[in-house]
Structure 1
Amino acid sequence: MCHTDCFTCTDVGYDKCLTCQPSLFFLGNRCYQLCPSGFFGDSATKTCSACSDGCDSCFGTEDNQCVSCKANLYLAESKCQESCPASYYTTGDEHVCKRCHYTCKACAGDSIHQCESCISNLFLLSGDCLRECPSGYTPNSNTGTCDKCADNCSACSGVEPNQCTGCVPHFRLDGNVCNPACPEGQYSLGSDGKCKSCGHRCLSCAGPDDCTSCNEATFRYNGECLTKCPVSMFKRDRACLPCDKAGACLECDAMGACRNCKEGYKLTQGNCNNPCERGLYLKDDACHTCPTDCAACNGPSEFSCTACKDSTIESLRVKYNYQDEVYCGGCSGGCELCLQQYDNYCVSCHPGKHLLRDTTLAQRAQCVEACPAGTFPTQTNGLSECVHCHESCGECNGPSATSCASCGPGLMLEESSCVAQCSESFYLSGTACLPCDNICKSCNGPGSKSCLTCPPGFVNQAQECVHSCSPGFFQRGDSCEACHPTCLECSGESAHQCSECIAGFSLAGESCVNACSQGLFNDHTLNTCKPCHVTCTNCTEGGPAQCLTCKAPLVKNTDNNECWQCCNEGARDRCCYCSGSNINTCTLLAESFDKHDASTWSSFTRYVVGGVLIVALLGVLICPLYHWKNKQAPTYSLLNDQDSDETDRFNRINEAYRVDEDDEDFVSMIHS
C-alpha cells in the first residue's frame, strides 16, 4: 500500500511516490501540499516547477513572477534584482522595493515629502517635488532642484548675487543686485532707487502701508501701526494678538484673559464657554439646537460647528475651516470624503468615480468619471485613483516608462515605451514603431520584403533577406545587386561581367550577345560562343568540316565543307578544282580531269605516260624490222599497280598504247 500522499508508488515510503493525490504536487518522488523554497505548485501539471533564478518563492516560471527573493536580491514588481530600480525604495532588511510617490524619480519613502530627485518638469526642494519654486529659489533644469537665491534676493534667475530679480525687506534692487535698503523708517521699491518714508508710526516697512515694526506707543496689526488694538485683540510685544483662537472672546486684558464673550458663550474664569449640552448652543440666555450636521456648535450657522455628527469625518479631520469654525455639511463635487467643502479637496470618491490628485499640491484632489489623458485608473487600498503616467507617455496603463499606450509630442510608441527614434528592428508607422519581420535586422515596412539590413548568414536582395543571391543578381558586401539584363549569372553590373546568359543570348567572353560574331559559333549545350576552326570565318560547329565561309585565300570544298586551296593557284597537296562561276567554292568531281589533267597528274603518272610515248615512238621506228618475227606478240601495260586509282583513270591511254610482252629489250629498258 502506498503512503497516504501518493496516488501511485513504487513502495510504501513517503518518498516512493510516482503520482500524487489530486490536492498535492509532485517533486522528486515526494508529494507536497506546499512546494519547497525555489518551487511553485503548477496546477496544470500538478508538479512543483522550478522558479526563475533569483526567486525564493514564485507563482510561475517567468522572472517577473517572483513572490520573494533569494539573499541579497530585491523584489520589485514581482522581479528579483540586485538593486531597486529607479522610482523605488526599500527600508531596513525587507529587500522589497516599494514605489515612490509618482512625483519622485528617487525617494527615501512613499510620502510626497520624501523625494530625493524628481520626474521631469518638477524641481526638488526639501523632499518635495514642485512645479514652481517658491520665493527665494530658482529652478535649476540641469539638477532638477530649486536652488536658493543669493542672500538678500527674494527672487532670482540664478544663484549668483548679480542674478537677483527681487529683494528681501531692507534691500533694494539695483540692476540685478540687491543692495542695502533705505535708512530706518524709509523704503524703496527699486523702480527709481529713491527712498521714501514709511509713515510717522512705522519704525520700518517693506512698502507703503506695510509696516514691519512700529515706534513707541503704537502696535502692529495687518501692516499698520495702531494706538489701540481692535476688539477681540490684546497688546503684546508691540503687536495686536487675538484674545482666543476660537474667536469667542470679544475683549480681553493685557494677559489675554477674556472680559467679554460673544453671544452663545458664557464667561467663566477668563474663558468663554458654551454652558449648553453637546448639540446645543447658547443664545439670549437659552440653549438652541445646533445645525443638522453638527455634533457641537457655538451658533446657528452651518459654519459654527465645533464637532461633526459623522465620527468618520471628524476622525479624519475631513472638515472645512471657515472663520475658525467647522463645516460639517458633507462634501461636494462627487467626493465621499473631503478636506474642505470644495470639490477639489476630495479624500475619497463615491463608487464609479476615480480620485484625481493635483500634481502641485498633494491636498488637492477631485473625483472624476473617467481618468483623463496622462493618467490611468488603479486600486490603492480599496481606493480607485487616477495615477499619472510616466512623463514620456501621453496615455498609459501603468506608471512605468514601459506602460505607455500613446506618447507625448515628438515621441513614438514602441512596444509600450515612448522613444524619440525607433530601434533598429522596428519601423515607423504613423506615430508608432512596429516590429520588423523576424527575418529582417532592420526594415522600413511590414513583411519579409521590406528589409533594409539582414542578420548574419543572410544577404539583402531587393529588400528581402536570402541565404544567397538568385540568378540575375550578384553579391556586393551584404547586398545582392542586379546583373545586366542580358546576364543570368555575373560578377558585376556591367554588360561585360556576365558568366552565364539568359535564354536567347550566348556568352561571348564575358558579354551576352544575341548572335555570335564572325569566327564564332553558338554552342547550344552551354549557350556560349566558341571559336570556329582556324580555316573558317563562319561555321556551324568547331570542326574543320563545319565551315560556312572560309578565310582567304581558302575556298569552301562543297564535297566536305572544308576550306581548301584552289589547285590552279599552284597548290598540289589538299587542293580542289575551283569553279569559274563561284570563286568561293571548289569541287573534287572526276570529270575535272579532262579539263585540268596537265596540272593534276602525279609525278608517277607523268613518268608512266612519258615512258609509254617513248615506247610508242620506238615502236614506229623498229616495228617494220620485227614485224615479220612476231606479228602476234603480247602487249604489256606500262602502268604500275602502285597507284590503282590513277591506273583506272588512264585506261584509255593504256588501251591506245600497248606493246608486246615478248619484247624483252623494251621491257628491260622501261623497268631500268
Structure 2
Amino acid sequence: IRVSHHVLALRCGYIVMADSNNKLVLHDCDPECDSQGCYGRGPTQCVACKHYRLDNTCVSRCPPRSFPNQGGVCWPCHESCETCAGAGQDSCLTCAPAHLHVVDLAVCLQVCPDGYYENYDNKTCVPCEANCASCQDRPDYCTSCEHHLVMHEHKCYSACPLHTYETEDYNCASCHSSCATCNGSAESQCITCRSGRFAYDGKCLNNCPDGYYADKKRQECVACPIGCATCSSNGFCLTCRENWTRNKKGKCIITGSENCDESEYYDNNHCHPCHSTCETCDGPTETNCLSCPQSLLLQSSRCVSSCDDGFYMEAGVCAKCLHTCTQCVSRMNCTACAKGLQLQSGECRTTCADGYYSDRGTCAKCYLSCHTCSGPRRDQCVQCPLGWQLAGGECHPECPEGFYKSEFGCQKCHHYCKTCNGAGPLACTSCPLHFMLDGGLCMECLGSQYYDSPTQTCKTCHDSCRSCSGPGQYSCKTCAFPLHLDRLNNQCVPCCPTDAAPEDQSCCHCDKDTGGCINASPAGKRRIAAAAEQQQFGSAYSGGLYGGFLDEDASGNGGSFFSRMSSPLTAITAVAVAVCLAIVTIVVVVFAVLQRSSNARDAIRYNKIPNKSEKKRGGGGGPRNAAAAKLLKADAESNLHEGAANDDYDEDEEEEDDDGYGYRDECEEVNERSAMDTEEVYVNELNMPTVDYRGKVVATATKTTPKSATASAKSVANNNSTMLGDIDDIEYYCRGTKAIL
C-alpha cells in the first residue's frame, strides 16, 4: 500500500519513502539512530537511539545540568548542580554558579558546613582532619575540636600535653618554666616540678628553705623534725634552732630540759609536767607534744588515735601525703587527688597517660586499639598507634570498607559506594546490595530490571513483566499491558474468555469492574505439586472408606479433596464459618439466660405482693388474713368470668390500655362489682367502723349482712378484720391479672 510522504518500507539503517512524485526514495537514517533503523528522517524519528534520548530526540550527549540514566534517557540534575551523576542533591559533579562543591558528599552549597574549610582556588569544601570540629586553610589546622577534646597548637588531643594546662575554653596554655604540670600560668601554680626542682608552697625551687629537706623521690620539700634548723634527707637533725640542743639520740630538745624527766618540759629554770596526752613535750598544751604514748600517733605536734585525711601512718607518726594527694596509704601511693587532678596507678596527674582517659577523676583504660581516647568504646579513639589509620573514631591497620586513604588519613566514601578509591560518587569500586557498578558510579536498577546477585548487575525482566524480582515469567511484580498479575504464581497472563475452562493455566478469570485477576486456584508449578500430592495420598486411600470422597470428580466439585484443601481460600472460609457459628451459639445462650432471669423476676413481682392490712397489723393474724384474701380473689375471678359471659360488647371497639392490652374494663368491672357487694357495710363483732371497698369510712351503725355478700367477705368480718386490706387484695389481683395478661 502506497501512502504519499509516508514510510513504505523500513530497513536496517535505511528508510524507503515516497516523494512528491510518488516515487520510492531510499533515505539514510539520522546518525544518532541505532541499527534498528527509523520511521523517518531526522533524530526524532529513530526507533532507538545510538547514544542518548532527550525529549524524544536522539542526541550524542546530554546537555548541561542533565545526566543519562541507565536507560539512556537524559534526566535533569538538581538545581544546585551544573553536572551530575544522578537526580538527587547529593549527586553533583560540578556546581552551579555561586555554589561550593562539597566533594566527599557530592553536594553543592553556598557556604561550607561545619567540619570543612573553603578552598578558594577551586571553589570546593574540603573536610577537616579527624577530631577537628572546624579548620582553616588546611585539614590539619584546627580552629576548634570535637566534644571532650582540647586544642594545642591547632591540633586536637584527649588531654593537654606536659608543661601545659587546660583553659576554660578547652585550649592548652603553657605553664611557668619551672613547672612540669600546673593549673595556671603563674609561678605559684605549679603542681609538679621539672627535673632538679622541688615543690614548696605551689612553687618549684632549686633548694629547699631552712627547716626542710629535699625529697628527691617525691620532688618536694619535706619539713624537718621539731627543733631542727637543718636536717638530712632521712630526717636526722644536723643543727638545732636557737635555745635548742641536740641530745644523745640526735634529737633537738630545749636547752636545760635534759635534767627533767621525759614527761616534763623545761621553762623558766623549772621542769613542768606535759599534757596528759603527750609522752614528751616542749610546752604545757596538747599541741606541744614531741612524742606520744604507744596507743597514739603524733600528728602536727598532737597525739591522735588515727591520722586525718592528707596524712598516712609511718613508725608511730602521721606523715603528710604528697601535696597533690588528699588521701594516701603510703608516701607515694595516693588514693584521692586534689581538685583538677586525675588518679592513675596511685599517682595524681594533671592528665592521664597515653592509653587512658579521665572518668570522673580516675584514669580508665582505652580500648586496646587506641593510642589515646576520649572514652572506653572502640569508636572513641583520638589517636592511633604508629602505622594504624583513624577512621570514624576507630583505629585500623588499613582504611576499612567505606573509607579511602588520603594525605590526611582515612576519608569516608560517598554514600553511593560500598568501597571507593577517592571522593565523590564516580570513585566507587564496589556497590551496596541491589546497586550495579557502571563506570565508577553505583546505579540502581531500572523499574523493568532486577538485580542479579551473582554477577552484581541489573538484568532485564521477562517480556510479560513490567517489574520483577528475578528472572523468568514467575517473578513478576507488575505486568505489561494488557496482561494481569496472577498473584498465586507471580505470573502475567491475559484474562480468560467466558467459555474458558476453569483449569486453564494460560489465563486468569478477571473481575468485571477492576479487570484484575480473581482466580484462586493454583497454576503452573503449584498445580504440578498439588497433583503430585493428590496422587500420593489418593493412591493410599483409593477403594477404601474415603476413596469416593477423595477421588471426587473435579468437574462437578471444583477438584479433588486435596486440591480444594490446598487452596488458601478454603482454609480461610472454614475458619470464618467456625467463628460465625461460635458467635451465634454464644448469642443464643445469652438470650436464653436473660429471658429466664426476666421471667423469674416477673413471677416474684406479681405472685408475692405484700398485704397492706398485714403491714398495718404488723403481721398479726397472718394465716387467717391470707386465707380471706384468697377467698376474695377467688370470688373476684368468679365475678370476672360471669361479667365476661354476660357482656355483649364488641371486641373491635374495646379500648386498649397503655400497654396495648384490652383488660382494663374487666378489672374495673371487678372493682365495681366488689363495690356493689360491699355497699351494705360489714360490721365485725367489735363494732369497728365500716368502710367501703376503697377504705373510706361509710358508717358506724350495725347492719345485717346482705345476701349478695360473698362468703369470703363474711369470713373476713368474722376474723376481726376491716375490709380495707381485703378489697385492696382484689385491686392488686386485678392489676396483676392485667399485667400478666
Larger Rg: 1
* Richer in helix (by share): 2
* Richer in strand (by share): 1
TM-score, with normalisation over the residues of structure 2? 0.29
